[in-house]
Amino acid sequence: GPTVGVLALQGDFREHARVLAGLGARIVLVRRPEDVEGIDGLVIPGGESTVMDKLSRSFGVADPLRRRIAEGLPVYGTCAGLIMLADTLLDGIPGQQNLGGLDVVVRRNAFGSQNQSFETDLDIPVLGEPPVRAVFIRGPVVESVGERAAPLAALEDGRVVAVEQGNLVGTSFHPEILGDHRFHAYFLGKVREAVAAAA
Ligand code: GLN
């Protein structure tokens, strides 16, 4: 299978690595610049984007990742990972930086505090039936979707919680938690296509 990096500086990277390995990917835990070179795709886990940002800069992986994203690397960001991928961030902390790539405006902590976490069923047309049971844990919301990006799912009130743009995918929620691996499989399809196109 393809080699998929999981950004492993902070957050629930182990869960993603387990899911992706179960789907046949070879996993590289990405912590240093040299880890970025051989990967065919990358997952950025949930966690705390402010910490992930600081660590990714001090470990020297932020710039290599920006370069690979600009070259078309498939990347899937969940929750804090979606924040990292957004071109524009609202309610970040002073000095917080993003990797960027996704033409969206994302607001951090849009659903309130940890104890306002919730689950809901989401219709996600690209994944078909049944709906995806989505867990939101202090997640971000996509406040606006730019011209280059497209929504994949919204809550009943219309707030967008999943987006894609070419090889980039982002979700406000955590599909790695509940055992529904269709989002990861969908992303791995993009990784396999990118590998085939480069061969
Ligand atoms: N609130 C976190 C942040 O700002 C994201 C929460 C999560 O990834 N579950 O990065």
**Choice among 16, 164, 174, 184 that is catalytic:** 174
Q: How far apart are CA 2 and CA 26, in angstroms?
A: 6
Q: How many other C-beta atoms lie within 10 A of the C-beta of residue 93?
A: 11
Protein residue with its CA nearest to atom 8 in ligand 1: 46
Look at residue 54 in the predicted model and tell me its pLDDT: 98
Percent of the chain with pLDDT over 90: 92
Mean residue pLDDT of the chain comes to 96
184 is catalytic: no
* Annotated catalytic residue 176: yes
Q: What is the pLDDT of residue 30?
A: 98
Q: Where are the domains of the chain?
A: 3-198
Distance in Å, CA 191 to ligand 1 centroid: 25
Which of 16, 79, 164, 184 is the catalytic position? Answer: 79
Is the domain covering 3-198 a CATH 3.40.50.880 domain?
A: yes
Distance CA 190, CA 199 (A): 14
**Residue-wise pLDDT tens digits, 108-128:** 999 887 777 889 999 999 999
Per residue in 38-85, pLDDT (tens digit) is 999 999 999 999 999 999 999 999 999 999 999 999 999 999 999 999
Position in ligand 1 atom list of the atom nearest CA 78: 8
On whether the CB atoms of residues 162 and 171 are closer than 8 A, the answer is: yes
Q: What is the pTM of this model?
A: 0.96
Pocket test for ligand 1, best of 9, 53, 79, 136 (most atoms within 8 A of CB): 79
Cross-strand bridge partners of residue 132? 122
